Structure 1
Amino acid sequence: MKKHRRSETPGRAASASAYSMDAAMNASYETAPRRNPALISFSEMLAFVAVVNATSFTGAARQLGTSKSVISRRISEIELQLGTQLIDRSGSRISVTDVGNAYYERCVSIIASVEAANDLAAGFNGGIHGTLRVSVPHFFGAQVLAPLFNEFANMYPGLRIDLGVEECDAGGNDTNYDLSIRIGHLANSSLLAKRLGATRSWMCASPEYLAARGTPKLPGELAYHDCLVNSGNGTSAGWQLLVDGELRTARVRERIRSACCFQLLQAARSGLGLALLPDYVIADAVATGRLKVVMPDCAPPAGPVSLVYPSSRRSSRKVQALIEFLSERLAHDSLVREPIAFA
């Protein structure tokens, strides 16, 4: 009776398959004749930029409303035409090669130019069309901006709005968007900015927590309290507070650390500790007595609420339409126009 060799384990087989696919792809760059890079299509560029932004083929497919196989085929087509690898697929997660990063920057610029040209052409027909990519902070977007974006979408039925959400006020790569809304002082000076208003963070806690642990009066007492810390604002040493008119870092003892303002709000309302959160986040809870403001004299200075956008989007009619709309609406919004005074 003829004996059959036992097959490889699934894991080993998958690993060998992945290796052979990667090796075959690298070999194809060397053996296949290069096509004219000028024939790379706009849809292929869109696919590549979407993959880099989403850091996955699945996320890019979801963003562009197509299948993962279509995205993969478009990326392979670009790499074959250029004769070089842009996306490294050998690991558990994709990574962008050095050539890919340089190519990405140029693709972003080209896509912006094409979309600006489309906006200009559409303008002669009296309409605003295409896709408008906007990045907003999570809680601010839900609390303040959601109804405004719905109103704006109804004003321009030919416009598709693609919202990217960032936790709290942490900014992502704003050059990937047509326009972003950011809270706090801006780090990227290459972007154009328009101030919409201001917001201020306040220390707060639930009445139950304060009854059980006492109300701190001085920054030095925070080291003996449970604190709910926002990891999305880029600070780790402590809380920036005003002490004798100067901004100083107060050491805090972390009970919960999160980049999600909503989670920190819920934790504070549940009596888990002190939180330092923006006024628009805690306004309702303070008004209903679920939270109390603590040490108001030490609240850090107000920070701006800004619209930011790359200079390449300056002439975009859809960007300018949204800037004008939000500027007019938010000028009358008490949550944004000036910081709420809880003191």
Structure 2
Amino acid sequence: MASNRPAPEAPYGSIDSFNSSGIPDAASVNGPFEEWNPTEETVRPVRGRHRVAKQRGGLARSSTVLGVGVIAAVGAGGMATAQDKPAVSISLPDAITDSLPDAESLPGIGSLMGDDSDGESGDSGTDSGPLTAASLTGAQETEAAGQQSGADAGEALRARILQQAEQQQATADAEAKAAAEAAAAEQAAAQAKAQQTAAEKEAAAQAAEEKAKAEAEAAAKAKAAEEARLAELAASWSLPTSSYTITSTYGQAGNMWSSGYHTGLDLAAPTGTPAKAVHSGTVKSAGWSGSYGYRIVLELEDGTEVWYCHLSSMTVGAGQKVGTGETIGRVGATGNVTGPHLHLEVHTAGGGGIDPLAWLRDKGLTV
């Protein structure tokens, strides 16, 4: 069985001084300098390719402590990082590796090594190489490959997520652009509709104005034509008398008339005022007519009869043709009267009486 006896410790005293970096001086740690030589009892035989650490002076313990710390750090770091990172080859300077002790001679480490026969045999398949290099095992290589595959899968997932984000952003941009174009089209349509409505209103107003203007012009023309007609007609018609005052109108009610209402138009004028033919026609009768006094009946071309009553004298006889404005008698007060006046009646060809005032005005005469 391999021995796990620790290497002899160099004598050291208490720590009395520190250097400028805050590290204890070697003399304080190791005590007074004293040369020490290994003996057969302290030097273990070389097994395999392990080499005995050369302990030089007071640096022996420091080298031992440093070697243990490096091995522990390398082991702990390897176990800590092997789970998530690929193994990395680690190298130490020869100045440090030369001072490292045999791993089996370290407390708590030798038990992990094999026995003497295992260490003596070079055919065990385990070549104990120097601590200056570390190689990747198959499991580590597999794990590294898995980590690389996982990294590739993660990168692919990241690329796919970025692609989806870009597609979503492109879709959002396209939708925003479409919405903006739709809003612009809607606004343009609204403006066009507003302009069309305004144009239609303006056209309607212009049409109404033109229509009103045309109607006004037509009305003016009609009025002018009517005035011309009345003027022409008035030239062929005449008032029945002059210097008169209207005292009674057609249809006026009262007990002064036997029928209960007035059947003609009374034009009061001084006795002897000329009575004229309102239009050309034929004297149908001329003579005494009871309550009408002296009366002349003038028949016009359309059969209308005009009666001149209460005359003081007559200058025409029955069957005589007269012209417009010709004097046919004189105003008087004969018959049933209260004073001198011309009682004028108008009868249609059928014999019915009509309003003389309206009839005269219809002929363009101002009564």
Place the TM-score, normalised by the shorter chain, in its bin. Answer: under 0.3
Larger Rg: 2
**With structure 2 as the length reference, what TM-score do the two structures score?**
0.16
Structure with bigger strand share is 1
**Which has the higher relative contact order, 1 or 2, with Cα contacts under 8 A spaced 6 or more apart?**
1
